[in-house]
Chain A
Amino acid sequence: MATVFFLPNTVEEACSILEEWGDDAIITNGGTDIVIDISKGNLIPHANVCIWNINELHQIKMDGDYVRVGGAATYKEMMNSSLTKEFPGLIEAVSQIGSPGIRQVATLAGNICTAAPAADGCTMAMGLDAQIVLKSATGERIVPLSHMMIGRGKTKRRGNELLTAILIPTSKKNCAYGRLARRRASDIAKVMVGASLEIEDGICTRAVVSLGALGPVPCRAYSIEQKLEGKPIRTGIEQLRGVFPEEAKPRISQFKRYKEQALPTLLVRTLELAAQRGGA
């Protein structure tokens, strides 16, 4: 079977191709996830829609109370943008992904849509309570990232939809990211924690905490958020020492014990860093 290739230049063009091909089309962004599947023969698409030529999707710009990261913005572009640089945790997350070569082409949108368990960008974006903009020829909808993933490799995105932007609330700049891996580069982390804290007079008014590599897809640690909110942040973090979040469900593997042993430490450290950035 032959694959039909498309290289649209606009979002509208891309959406109309997707409308026509639906689930038979795949979208190639940086290609660092999907091309592996294609080259291994696990995936033989009828149509391949490559979106890297759509200039507007590379943009990172302000959008009301959000920073709008375009659906084809690469990690390199995020690391260079003064807007995303305001989120130190986000930069911590994306600047540690893969290697310079990967970051040159790979995108946050791709990281989210792959819906893999150990996704750095997705985990941090979830810790920022990011919102996802999905657009089709017939309309646009916004889905909170925390509700976007429905299982390993599965998202709420419909076949005719393009992820056009990730919206990051500007209120989440006190953020931090922690990851534990066996080597310093090009290694999938075994434990990931993203956190953003809103602090007023030393009191945590809003906490968003996310976990990666601790379940089928990145998830929120709501139980931890609850333990933090409404308390002096220092006290809140202090009571979390040694706590293993109930949302973390590492599967049975040779790394399970490590995840159990290391997660409480990384959680507290990441929260401390975010709190420090929040001036507490």
Chain B
Amino acid sequence: MKRDTVIGSSLIRPDALAKVQGRAPYVADIKLEKRDCLIGRALFPPYAHAKILSINTSRAEALSGVEVVMTAKDLPGLNGYGAAALDKPVLADKIVRYQGDPVAFVAACDKKTADKAVALIEVKYEPLFPQTDPKENLKPETPLIHEDHPMSKGTNISSSWRVERGNVIAALSRSDIVLENDFETQIVDHAYLETDSCIAEPDPVTGILHLITQGHSAQLNCRSLAAAFGLPHSKVHVTIPIVGGSFGGKEDSNLEVSVMAGVLALKTGKSVFCEYTREESFRNTGKRHATHSHRKLGATKEGILTAVAADITVNKGAYRSIDPIPQRMTMYGGGVYRVPNALVEARSVFTNQVYGCACRGLGVPQAMFIIESQMDDLARRLNMDPVELRLKNILRDGDTMITGQAIKKSQGLGLEKCIQAVCERIGWDKPLEQSDDPSIRRGRGIATIMYGTGTGYPTDGAHCFLNLQMDGSLMVGIATAELGQGGIIAMTQIASEAMGIPYNMVSVNYSDNHSSPEAGATVASRSTVFHGNAIINGCNILKDRMLCCAGQILGEDPRDLDIREGIVYTRQNKERSIPLTEAIKFAFSSQVPLTTTGSWYPPLNHLDPIMGQDTRMHTYTYGAQAVEISVDIGTGIYTLDRCVSAFDVGKAINPMCVEGQIEGGVTQGIGYAMMEKFELRNAMAVTDTYHTYLIPTSMDLPKLETILVEEPNELGPFGAKGIGEPPVTAAAPAIRNALFDAIDIPFYSLPITPIDVLDAIKKKKSPVVNRQERAATKNLEK
């Protein structure tokens, strides 16, 4: 029998055609099918920090078409919800902590009426000073943002982490070179196409509240909200249709509309639809965290890294949301390098502004910008090629990260291959061609990254339900959310290969907490590996059972049998075979169950919380990106001419989807580098439309060149590693380094807009020269 495999094949995603033709139903489309659905809207405060003195809803309630107006006193359960802590009030009671805290909800017959009613609610506030500076909020005399936070008691710190290894102070004092810099990264929005929306339907018979909404895990949505509804988890049914983009945001941001729809539905006993406008989505929902880092990097004069010391402050915003940012920024504090001595400390601090949540990369885009920028500063100081410097220091088989985790080749270690691949493709060894235009300076830059697969928590694991059918087809109940990444097709391909049946016989029932078990969320670049492995495990269980049955029919030892394309065959004699359906029928009549649970979890992470020493991720994805840019020194406008990325993905289950993930991620990284910035004035959003919040268009991109490197992860499904987030992390430092190369100006904050570039050029005392010109003058000096 031919060993045809669907693994590594770019099968077309089932959602692709439906999306292109506009037939794929998003939440708002599903709403169109629902009759008698009320519309829920919220009143948000005109302040980022204020005491609520009084609320008068009588005029709103009197408006015809209004079903109900709710304030904090009318809630069915706990006035708190959230993914990590139930710290976000369903309705602000005494205080508003940021501009997105709702003060009242309205359900009405239509949006117009609901909006009119919202405008009729009268609230008296006592404005308070918006505490927006995390450094200030760390001071003991500064008032607490949360008087009584469920997790952070008596402090404005949301979470903190430190990684300590060796002796940093001694190592830095012995280092030939010590660089010391401050870095700032900005808040960015996910800019997902589908705004946050939810339909909540109370079931009068079962008492179940059904939420049709967005998310990264139906189970997580349920867990985050059930207490606010005053319902047991079993009575909160969450289904997540395909999602119109999320990038981490809807892991918890869309809980805002879900909780609103849910409490209004429980109050009215009717279906309620809530949807944010684009402006509300911009103003209220979570963002990528802004950070400030002070970092020292030590090295020998030969360019061997000796020590890193960093102090990082993360602007948390008003609520905890998803907050391993300090942990991630510290664990990756040494980058992709061997650094024997490290002390990296980080904390996230509550402020009165929009909260930071998961945003593709979870702290790593910030960390890599800092680390990779400083590497180029070091290369410049050493007068060494940035690639040569990197190759001297990268982690190799057996080396340890600053967390003490040993990096193993068996987990897939394609870092050097990625660097070589991008250098070869872009022609790193050849001089960069300069422009004839005297106002153009060209430059090249590189960045290298690593990114762990999974959350790294001891709870991290995945489970699924498998249900083999009499006709040899397979139903998979797996909590993968289809966020546009190609989750359904990847799960299908893995199940097809593991079960030995054609892929069109596999049906994936995704993201429904009532038909699939906990699998952890579709986050942390983990679904292909974690969910895929759980499916393989379940398929192996079912396969063993079916092989036993087939063995009885064929009179063969089951250990000699295998299944391909729905046929059970004998390995030694392929002619001796039966259809899988025969085995299934035999199993059915012999009371052998056709269903099972599949499970997978990585090796336990042994943690030393004091020193931050652990083995957090079972595998890492590696990558390198090289870019070429042209800078117009008259206007500061710069063009990305080329962008070459290589990522070691272990095994590309579906290469087209993997490339899609990489190109999308790289594009977001380019936006992070060149233009994206969510701005606030007095803690109130300024950039709350696509008119003011810029993301790159296709016109801003070069053809993205993508190279897949496959160094198998022994624990991954068919060798796979995660690829959702890694691609977003390298662009910012690569572009920054290319600018440094082109105009000899190092930047230390993001984004780097033409406005920043021109300003820096105007402030520069010496003429703007590029690398070749610098080299030429150096030779002359010699």
Contacts and interface: CB of A to CB of B under 8 A. Distances in A.
A pairs with B:
yes
Contact of B700 (A183, A190, A254, A261): A183
B758 A261 contact: yes
A239 interface: no
B636 A183 contact: no
A128 B106 CA distance: 54
A5 interface: no
Contact of B697 (A185, A262, A266, A269): A185
Contacts of A182: 675, 694, 753-755
Interface string B671-710: 0001100000000000000010010111110000000000
B755 A258 contact: yes
A262 B634 contact: yes
Contacts of B758: 258, 261-262
Given A258-B755, A262-B635, A184 B694 contact: no
A265 B440 CA distance: 13
B762 interface: yes
Q: How large is the interface on B (under 10, 10 to 19, 20 to 34, 35 or more residues)?
A: 20 to 34
A182 B675 CA distance: 7
A185 B699 CA distance: 6
B690 to A, nearest CB: 8
B759 interface: yes
Nearest to B671: A183
Given A185-B699, A258-B759, A180 B635 contact: yes
A257 interface: yes
Interface string A250-280: 0000110110011001100100000000000
Contacts of B697: 99, 183-186
B113 to A, nearest CB: 15
A118 to B, nearest CB: 12
B637 interface: yes
A240 to B, nearest CB: 14
Contacts of B439: 265
Given A184-B699, A184-B700, A262 B636 contact: yes
A278 B228 CA distance: 72
Contact of B754 (A180, A188, A269): A180
Q: How large is the interface on A (under 10, 10 to 19, 20 to 34, 35 or more residues)?
A: 10 to 19
A257 B697 CA distance: 26
A187 interface: yes
Given A185-B697, A185-B699, A186-B697, A180 B759 contact: no
A38 to B, nearest CB: 14
Nearest to A260: B762
Contact of A257 (B696, B754, B759): B759
B634 A269 contact: yes
Contacts of B675: 182-183
Nearest to B701: A184
Contacts of B754: 180, 182, 258
- Interface of A, secondary structure class, is loop
B100 to A, nearest CB: 20
A187 B694 contact: yes
A265 B632 CA distance: 11
Contacts of A180: 635, 637, 754
Nearest to A268: B634
Contacts of A187: 694
Contacts of A257: 755, 759
Contact of A266 (B635, B674, B694, B700): B635
Contacts of A261: 636, 758-759, 762
A29 B696 CA distance: 29
A143 to B, nearest CB: 30
Nearest to A41: B115
Contacts of B636: 258, 261-262
Contacts of A265: 439, 634-635
Given A180-B637, A183-B694, A187-B694, A255 B755 contact: yes
Nearest to B115: A41
Contacts of A269: 634
B679 to A, nearest CB: 9
A42 to B, nearest CB: 14
Interface string B187-212: 00000000000000000000000000
Nearest to A190: B755
A186 B697 CA distance: 8
Nearest to A96: B699
A187 B762 CA distance: 24
Given A261-B759, A262-B758, A183 B634 contact: no
A182 B637 CA distance: 7
A141 B755 CA distance: 43
Contacts of B637: 180
A183 B696 contact: yes
Nearest to A180: B635
A258 B700 CA distance: 20
Nearest to B756: A258
Contacts of A186: 697
A180 B757 CA distance: 13
A266 B636 CA distance: 11
Contacts of B698: 185
Contacts of A262: 634-636, 758
Nearest to A36: B691
Interface in B324-363: none
A119 to B, nearest CB: 15
B721 to A, nearest CB: 33
A99 B634 CA distance: 26
Contacts of A184: 697, 699-700
Interface string A163-205: 0000000000000000010111111101000000000000000
Interface in B713-767: 753-755, 758-759, 762
Nearest to A99: B697
Contacts of B753: 182
A158 to B, nearest CB: 30
A269 B699 CA distance: 22
Contacts of B762: 261
Interface in B427-483: 439
Interface in B620-640: 634-637
Nearest to A262: B635
B635 A183 contact: no
Contacts of B755: 182, 190, 254-255, 257-258
25 contacts: A99-B697, A180-B637, A182-B675, A182-B694, A182-B754, A183-B675, A183-B694, A183-B696, A183-B697, A183-B699, A183-B700, A184-B697, A184-B699, A185-B697, A254-B755, A255-B755, A257-B759, A258-B636, A258-B758, A258-B759, A262-B634, A262-B758, A265-B634, A265-B635, A266-B634
Closest 10 CB pairs of A and B: A184-B699, A265-B634, A185-B699, A258-B755, A185-B697, A184-B700, A262-B635, A183-B700, A261-B758, A180-B635
Given A183-B675, A184-B699, A185-B697, 14 more contacts: A180-B637, A182-B675, A183-B697, A184-B700, A185-B700, A187-B694, A188-B691, A257-B755, A262-B634, A262-B636, A265-B439, A265-B634, A265-B635, A266-B635
